[in-house]
Chain A
Amino acid sequence: MNSVSEPMTPRQRATWAVILGVSIILIVVRCFIGQGMGKVYVEPTDLYFGEASPSTWTTMDEAQFDRFRADNPDARTEQWTEYRTVPPKAYFAQEQAGGGSIILSWPRTIGLWIGAFFTLAIYSFLYRDNPFYKFAESVVVGVSAAYWMVVGFWDTIVPNLIQRLLPGFAQEYLTPGMALPSSEVQFTNLIYLIPLVLGVMLICRLVPKGGWLSLWPLAFIVGTMAGLRLVGYTEGDLLSQVRITISSLYVPGGDDSSTFMMIWTTIWSSLASVLLVLGVLCCLAYFFFSVEHKGAVGGAARVGIWYLMITFGAAFGFTVMGRIALLAARFEFLFDDWLWLIDPTNQRRLADALPILGL
């Protein structure tokens, strides 16, 4: 195989074509074997709500909803259909029983297949850069940016700004479940005009001649964060960790089931304490450059390097473990949710579904 940065050779093109062709054939065949693959079923449920008192919405069934509307013709009501995902086995059991309300959800099924496509497209980069990977990468970046914008509006600007400055407007048009402030409280909190102005000044960064205005809110953000973190890190990292490190080197063991175990756990606990203090001092010696690393200081610094290397090794091991877990999760998605090759959560076993329908 050639390097991934080189252009594709005819042989590699042929390899790609064979891989894609075989994959498509296998997927098509899999679709028609057994119960098929990659389908999502939903059960529609009608939901009814009535505003029993201002800002208090009550959930009700259809009969209650009809009575509520008859008794309170001016009250606000809402109704919609919720499509709840159900395991495929419930659909299979329903079909065996002669029909029911569970249906195939095309949007969610297409979503599942898109998820599988993007998973494979991203992993295809491991072979070499390709248009599928480029497409998936661009979509992820675009969707993430759009998602962040929507989240930023609904979770930051609406609750932190509009709800405080214009509570009536927010309740009427944006968040109907929100209760208005009581009459004793100032209806509009004018202090929030300050973040509004600072926010507008921050956006001025996009204006060619008004960029300097954004420096003021930036200075405010940096100053606030510095102050906040100074206190947090001094208290939580520096003082607390120093206090914990200054501990007795002799630690009595916790296992008093026998004299041997007591001595054994005491030795281990004390050794751990000694190693902890030794490690801290040696690592500090390594980073202390005011004295030349010779003699005792040099020896301590070398021990400090060993401690640091062991720490980096542990970090590397944990990182590998994390990445393998993520890979395993994607494989489980492909094998379970998409290809229906495995069923660890009993989503498709028909025998388990029959009692659900009373069969």
Chain B
Amino acid sequence: MNFLNNLDRRWIFLAMALCVGVPILVIGLTGYTFPETPTPLAEAFFDEVDVAGEAKGRRANVLLAFDFDPASAGELNPMAVSLVHQCAQKGHRMYFISLWPVGPQMIMDAVNKVIKVHYPEMVYGEDYVNLGFKAGNEQVIKVMGVDLTTEFRTDVEGTTLSQIPMMSGITNLEDFDLIAEISAGYPGSKEWVLYASTQFNIPLVSGMTGVQAPQLYPYFPNQLKGLLGAIKGAAEYEYLVNQWVRLDKLTGILEQAGLPPGEAGPLAAEFAASPDQVSTWTVSAAASTLSPEAKAALIEAATEPIPGEYLEGQRRMGPQLFAHLLMVFLIILGNVIFFAQRRRGGGS
């Protein structure tokens, strides 16, 4: 017991390094990730992005505020990438801004990973725009609620907003169908809740660091329509988006091949759930109307592996599991030592 009581804390650091490092190596080499079960919070986030703009019957204008920097990118980048992924697949217009100085680089990182690689048909200025960083914290939000052009006169490249096609008709926060925010602290989720969601009644969803999450839970589901807390929330949302994107692609292929929407949707859901069925179905009589190209596209969409950049959050849940097991073990061990010492009369 004395040995444990006097154990150098650096052995614990080493154990933590192994608990995090070894799973990363194993997951990186095998490609295996742990399954995720989305919670209602992540589902609410996903649904809110999914239905944005539907009430007004138009292509949604989504304001994406990336209020974080590289120091918290490990926790927040997966949810930022998945958010852009969902918006791009859904065809929303994306307006990127940041209240953090290094935010524009985080925006460019997500744009380069998702839009430039997987959605090259999207045009800057028509489908997405980067309005960059604006100093002023919550005052920027407050002013944007009245007149957006007062704060943002140019985009991140210095182009005047009047010359950017998708800025036409955008004057203040109320012209957006949804605000989606990724936050690492101040200014962040709290300020968007207080000065945008509450005051202008605009739907707001937010992803945030673990440190912030407990403070923001009380705002859900009234002032905050969806909430992603830390890497766990990111992994759940990532899973939802990946599943939906595959389903959406399969539905699109089936509809383009001539199947009615009422038939294509359930069939796509079936294929997304069990991709092995696609090969069997394409040689059956039911698929006789499909062209060989459509069949090949269907098989590819159902079985192609999910790109690694869309699995970042899920990959990081492996190290989380083992690190948490170590933490639980250490807490129990610490308590055992404490009570053992007290029993012997050595503890305070």
The residues of A with any CB-CB pair to B shorter than 8 Å are 1, 4, 55-56, 126-127, 147-148, 151-152, 155-156, 159-160, 163, 175-179, 224, 228-229, 232-233, 235-237, 240-241, 244, 311, 314-315, 317-322, 324-332, 335-336, 341-346
Contact = CB atoms under 8 A, between A and B. Distances in A.
B138 interface: yes
Given A176-B158, A179-B162, A328-B74, A318 B20 contact: no
A236 B139 contact: no
A178 B158 contact: yes
Given A148-B101, A232-B138, A315 B211 contact: yes
Interface string B6-30: 0010100100110011001101110
B37 interface: no
Given A179-B160, A314-B214, A344-B308, A322 B133 contact: no
Contact of B154 (A178, A240, A344): A178
A178 B160 contact: yes
A292 to B, nearest CB: 29
A331 B320 contact: no
Given A241-B218, A328-B319, A344-B311, A233 B194 contact: yes
15 contacts: A126-B13, A175-B154, A232-B199, A235-B198, A236-B193, A236-B195, A241-B218, A317-B210, A321-B231, A321-B232, A321-B324, A324-B20, A324-B323, A329-B75, A342-B28
Given A236-B193, A324-B319, A336-B28, A329 B74 contact: yes
A178 B231 CA distance: 39
B334 interface: no
A318 B24 contact: no
Contacts of A147: 101
B134 interface: yes
Contacts of B229: 318
B162 to A, nearest CB: 7
B135 interface: yes
A177 B230 contact: no
Contacts of B16: 327
B147 to A, nearest CB: 14
Contacts of B77: 329
B158 A175 contact: yes
A335 B23 CA distance: 12
A322 B207 CA distance: 13
B335 interface: no
Contacts of B154: 159, 175, 177-178
A228 B327 contact: no
Given A232-B199, A320-B324, 10 more contacts: A4-B10, A147-B101, A163-B153, A177-B160, A178-B158, A325-B75, A328-B24, A328-B74, A329-B316, A331-B319
Contacts of A155: 101, 132-135
B305 to A, nearest CB: 9
B211 A178 contact: no
Interface string B100-137: 01000000000000000000000000000000111100
B159 interface: yes
Secondary structure call for the A interface: helix
A156 B138 CA distance: 15
Contacts of A244: 218, 222
From B24, B71, B135, B320, residue with most partner A Cβ within 10 Å: B24
B131 to A, nearest CB: 12
Contacts of A336: 28
Contacts, number: 165
Contact of A240 (B17, B223, B316): B223
Contacts of A148: 101
Given A1-B10, A236-B198, A345-B308, A55 B160 contact: yes
B213 A318 contact: yes
Contacts of B246: none
Contacts of B311: 344
Contact of A177 (B157, B315, B320): B157
A274 B199 CA distance: 28
A325 B230 contact: yes
Contacts of A56: 163
Interface string B160-187: 1011000000000000000000000000
Nearest to B155: A177
A342 B194 contact: no
Contacts of B276: none
A159 B131 CA distance: 13
A289 to B, nearest CB: 24
A327 B16 CA distance: 10
B92 interface: no
Nearest to A333: B74
A176 B158 CA distance: 7
B243 interface: no
Interface in B44-80: 71-75, 77
Contacts of A152: 135
Given A315-B211, A315-B214, A324-B323, A342 B8 contact: no
Nearest to A276: B218
Nearest to B142: A228
A328 B101 contact: no
A163 B134 CA distance: 14
Contacts of B197: 236
Contact of A319 (B211, B223, B320): B211
Contacts of B160: 55, 177-179
Question: Which 3 interchain pairs have the tightest Cβ spacing?
Answer: A329-B74, A342-B28, A177-B158
A304 to B, nearest CB: 16
A318 B320 CA distance: 11
A178 B152 CA distance: 12
Interface in B222-271: 222-223, 229-232
A94 B139 CA distance: 51
A355 to B, nearest CB: 13
A241 B311 CA distance: 36
Nearest to A152: B135
A345 B153 contact: no
B309 interface: yes
A317 B328 CA distance: 11
